[in-house]
Amino acid sequence: MSGGPSGGTAAGERGHAPARAAVLGHPIGHSKSPALHGAAYAALGIELEYGRVDLTEEQLPAFIGRVRSEPGWRGLSVTMPLKSAIVPLVDRLEGRAAELGVLNTVVVEHGPAGPVLVGYNTDVTGIVEAFRHAGCARAESAAILGAGNTALAAVAAVAELGARQVAFLVRDPSRTGEAVGLAQRVGLRVTVEALAEAAPAAVGADVVVSTLPPRAADGFADAVAALPVGAQMEHDGGARVLLDVAYDPWPSRLAEAWKGRGGVVLHGLEMLVHQAVEQVVLFTGRTEARSQHVTDVMCDSVGVPRRVA
């Protein structure tokens, strides 16, 4: 649904047309969010139209104006490159979005003067739940590939998992200020390493989150694959666990290299499922979206193995 879904009212407070939501980004054709949300709404018995809208940063303000003026909008899922650009266009930030200054979710509330746009960040929960449902409930150390918007969510997530130190593995160490500042504020010890030389640091961390775009970690993957045979992929708590948020194509070269060295790999879609669950709760108010049944049908919709109860 490039260009925006049509018709509808939001919370049923402005007419009787169907409710609607959409995922925004550029490019957006590959997004799995419509499948995830559609499966959840069907399981919950909710009529809510959910589509894709391909938008650049320059086009975003005009589209947000439409959301404010057109009936029907319940919420927006926001992906690259809009997670920062949309922040000044909402009315307030809540929870993790306020802490991080980055959002991936907008909820359209209805105030006395009209729609109120509220920003949330469900990426943090998505990362945490992906690790927890893989049996990784705690981690002492973490490595994060990249230092952009998703890396900020990764910082908050590894802190929630109990990490005490984090290494940022980046292509340009001079551009890590925001991520490093956040890590220090939440009490993490921080190191920064150039990505080209950081494979040993990655395999030494309990958990690793790659926030790089598709194929951007291919060179790093080759460095992981080339490490000496004795490079440790296990620690007292079990195998080192990698979450690669880039899910298309899959498996990524990094996922293949990590698994080839004996590490555990989490599919990027696992994070997407769990962050989408929280979006469904925010868009509908239906907390049963977190149930095993709804999560299972969402996993089925994108071919991710169901979580273990």
Q: What is the pLDDT of residue 248?
A: 87
The alpha helices in 142-252, defined as continuous H runs, are: 149-160, 177-185, 199-203, 218-225
Q: Is 259 a catalytic residue?
A: no
The pLDDT > 70 percentage for the chain reads 90
Boundaries of every domain in the chain = 19-121+270-302, 124-266
Whether the predicted pLDDT of 94 surpasses 50: yes
Q: How many CB atoms lie within 10 A of CB 251?
A: 15
**Region for residue 44 given its phi and psi (left: phi exceeds 0; alpha: psi -120 to 50; beta: otherwise):** alpha
Rounded CA-CA distance 216/246 in Å is: 9
What CATH number should be reported for the domain whose range is 19-121+270-302? 3.40.50.10860
Same CATH fold assignment for domains 19-121+270-302 and 124-266: yes
- Summarize the confidence of residues 151-170 as an average pLDDT: 97
Q: What is the pLDDT of residues 6-52, one digit of tens each?
A: 333 333 344 455 899 999 999 999 999 999 999 999 999 999 999 99
Question: Exactly one of 32, 37, 52, 83 is catalytic; which is it?
Answer: 83
Whether the predicted pLDDT of 107 surpasses 80: yes
Q: What is the pLDDT of residues 200-242, one digit of tens each?
A: 999 999 999 999 999 999 999 999 999 986 555 655 555 799 9
- Summarize the confidence of residues 299-308 as an average pLDDT: 87
User: Cβ distance 182 to 160 under 8 Å?
Assistant: no
**CATH T-level assignment (fold) for domain 124-266:** Rossmann fold (3.40.50)
Q: What is the pLDDT of residue 11?
A: 38
Q: What is the pLDDT of residue 104?
A: 97
Q: What is the pLDDT of residue 237?
A: 52
Rounded CA-CA distance 174/250 in Å is: 30
